[in-house]
Structure 1
Amino acid sequence: MTRPSQVLLIVVVYWLGVAIALARGGSFDAVAVAAGAGATVATAVTVHYANEYADYDTDRRTERTPFSGGSGALVDLDVPDPRRFAWRATVVSGVVAVAAVLAVGAVGVSLATQASLLAVFGLGWAYSLPPVRLIARGVGEATNVLLGALVLPLAGYATVASPDAVAVLALAPFAWLVVPNLLATHYADREADAATGKRTLAVRLSVSQVRRLGVVFAAGYPVLVAVVSLVGLFPSVVVVAHVLAVLPAAWTARTLTRRRSPLPAVAAMVTLAATTSLAWTWTWLAHA
């Protein structure tokens, strides 16, 4: 029920936080970083399972793409009661995730990392599951940005250094591009979401409003990159890595709501996550 590509992206985002911390002088602890990564994967798996369980009816109604509509595993699974199976998997994986997060403290993973991952676990479940079900209350996108673009990489950062304001600023461009990615992904599923009470912004807003909001973020991304460059807060190689996501961001601005596939927005987000992870890693290794 988990998509390997999404789990891999989560590991990349975790490493992005680690790499930023190392480039800024953090002390590399291979055991703590690896243990934190393992706990991150366990947390990601249970959040995915919770989402698959909650979205079973939605995923049956929508037309899946490689980037939207869920994994499709429950719909295609040959078991008598797919939702019960998914719920049991969610509960078991949740117990494993909490145990993993608590256990990694024994090998030097910081309390800040553990607290961050527990926040991802708790809010990740609340995102999809009743009675909270944040995605049905119009705050799902904000929760997703907070957890996936800030709390998760800061969990990685905290394995080697204490997060500060500069760490958050270093993640701001990534968080910015996650917004149009979520809008594009949810837009692809808007009919099925509306039919099952999943009140995403793509459901709550008109098509023109979704487009305007997405274009503000996608077309505004080059302006944000220019500000990052002028401030001079980050190494030049990191600034160049941000520039590489400008083209797919422009593609996103041009196509959002005009095509069903969220590929352009996904490409922009993944490009930025990958290039900035490499750039910060390069900066660390160059000064090691």
Structure 2
Amino acid sequence: MVSTNSREQTKPFHHQVSNFATVLKTMRLPFLSLTLFCVLLGLSTAIYSNVLISWIDFSVCLGGALAAHIAVNTLNEYQDFQSGLDFKTSKTPFSGGSGGLIDNPKAAPVVLKIVQLSITITVLCGGYFIYQLGPAIVPFGVVGLLIIITYTRYINTSPLLCLFAPGVGFGALMVIGTDFVLSGTFSMSAVASGIVCFFLVNNLLLFNQIPDAKADKSVGRKHLVIAYGIKHTLVVYTVFLICSAAVIVLAGFYNVLPKFSYFSLIPMLAGVESVRTLSKSFKQEQIIPMPIMQRALGLNVIAANFTPLFLAVCILIAA
């Protein structure tokens, strides 16, 4: 027979386990693969430039990038819970939030502490590179912190800022920034690779906003889907996809990237199928059924994640 005292002693333990599970949910760990692939791409362009790699610097860079991504995810989850948006969205594996704080509201202060810890780690990593490289790295850090802090409440109220911020964060700051902290210079191969990720990551967040548009509008957001509708969103996605492919083709043609990089065009076919699927459904029904929406979002994730991964591998093989 279990005593009342022993039951009371197990309550804090179960509470801590529950909070830990909620924190992991709000971190959106599966989404962190994009950070890993973007940093790997920056590493590959640095190696392609025949730079002697400091693996300590690379480790700090990767840690800072992961901390920044976790900060964005957890702050977005916390603020969406506080605003009530989290209760209005239809959850999918790719959009609508994790629902972690809905299941365990008492974990909100813990999630906020994770936000603060992640930002602190990001700043410390940035401070390390300022010490190593001087003030040239400061703009990367300032822009990164501004995106982290303002993304949910402020950037999401501007269609253009909301459209471009994800691509800046991953394409410019992570890909080009990684190459810069490892090589000390800006290489054209890193710039080209960063531009590819810029367009693809913009597309990733753009399509993820479609299922949440109605709920987002109710809390004052105004991203591209809300401002201009699904039809124009599909056009922008298509243009961005063409631009990212064109950069790879042109960079290979002018030897900025190895011609072997053309193999990284293969995952973009998932993006082509994603926009084709949504366009066909939208023309027929105007309201896109959730199973079709989820399929398109899944294909979009494949294009955004595997293109930088394939590109990094191609560059490393050529190097």
Q: Would you call these one fold, judging by a TM-score over 0.5?
A: yes
Larger deviation, residues 109-118 vs 34-43? 109-118
Task: After TM superposition, give the deviation of residue 22 of structure 1 in Å.
Answer: 1.0
Aligned to 1:215: 238
Is structure 2 residue 145 aligned with structure 1 residue 121? Answer: yes
Structure-2 change in CA distance of 1:197 and 1:223 (3 Å) = same
Does the aligned pair in 1 maintain the 2:171–2:198 contact within 8 Å? yes
Task: After TM superposition, give the deviation of residue 223 of structure 1 in Å.
Answer: 4.5
For 1:43 and 1:222, locate their aligned partners in 2 and report how far apart those are by CA, in whole Å. 27
For 1:235 and 1:62, locate their aligned partners in 2 and report how far apart those are by CA, in whole Å. 43
For 2:190 and 2:242, locate their aligned partners in 1 and report how far apart those are by CA, in whole Å. 24
For 1:72 and 1:109, locate their aligned partners in 2 and report how far apart those are by CA, in whole Å. 41
Task: After TM superposition, give the deviation of residue 104 of structure 1 in Å.
Answer: 5.6
For 1:183 and 1:114, locate their aligned partners in 2 and report how far apart those are by CA, in whole Å. 28
Task: After TM superposition, give the deviation of residue 113 of structure 1 in Å.
Answer: 5.0
Structure whose CA Rg is larger: 2
Aligned to 1:156: 178
* Higher share in helix: 2
Task: Output one character per residue of 1:51-104: Cα deviation in whole Å (capped at 9) or x when no partner.
Answer: 11222222221111111112222122251xx54444343234323332343246
Structure-2 change in CA distance of 1:31 and 1:95 (3 Å) = closer
Among residues 65, 89, 92, which one is paired with 2:114 in the alignment? 89
Percent identical residues: 17
Aligned to 1:199: 222
Show structure 2 runs of 5+ residues with no match: 1-25, 282-291
Structure-2 change in CA distance of 1:104 and 1:227 (3 Å) = closer
Aligned to 1:260: 293
Structure-2 change in CA distance of 1:166 and 1:228 (3 Å) = closer
Letter of the 2:191 counterpart: V
Q: TM-score scaled by structure 1? A: 0.85
Task: After TM superposition, give the deviation of residue 142 of structure 1 in Å.
Answer: 1.0
Letter of the 2:170 counterpart: G
The 3-state SS of whatever aligns with 2:97 is coil
Does the aligned pair in 1 maintain the 2:130–2:137 contact within 8 Å? no
How many residues align structurally?
277
Structure-2 change in CA distance of 1:114 and 1:209 (3 Å) = same
Does the aligned pair in 1 maintain the 2:216–2:222 contact within 8 Å? yes
Among residues 85, 95, 100, which one is paired with 1:73 in the alignment? 100
Does the aligned pair in 1 maintain the 2:166–2:198 contact within 8 Å? no
Show structure 1 runs of 5+ residues with no match: none
Task: After TM superposition, give the deviation of residue 276 of structure 1 in Å.
Answer: 0.9
Does the aligned pair in 1 maintain the 2:192–2:248 contact within 8 Å? no
What is the 5 A alignment of 1:34-49?
34-49=59-74
Larger relative contact order (Cα-Cα within 8 Å, sequence gap ≥ 6) = 1
Is structure 2 residue 274 aligned with structure 1 residue 239? Answer: no
For 1:36 and 1:142, locate their aligned partners in 2 and report how far apart those are by CA, in whole Å. 23
The 3-state SS of whatever aligns with 2:209 is helix
Letter of the 1:65 counterpart: T
Structure-2 change in CA distance of 1:155 and 1:224 (3 Å) = closer
What is the 5 A alignment of 1:2-151?
2-56=27-81, 57-79=84-106, 83-103=108-128, 108=132, 112=136, 115-129=139-153, 133-138=154-159, 139-151=161-173
Task: After TM superposition, give the deviation of residue 251 of structure 1 in Å.
Answer: 0.6
The 3-state SS of whatever aligns with 1:197 is coil
Does the aligned pair in 2 maintain the 1:120–1:147 contact within 8 Å? yes
Q: TM-score scaled by structure 2? A: 0.78
For 1:109 and 1:87, locate their aligned partners in 2 and report how far apart those are by CA, in whole Å. 31
Does the aligned pair in 1 maintain the 2:162–2:223 contact within 8 Å? yes
Task: After TM superposition, give the deviation of residue 228 of structure 1 in Å.
Answer: 3.7
Letter of the 2:214 counterpart: E
Letter of the 1:200 counterpart: H
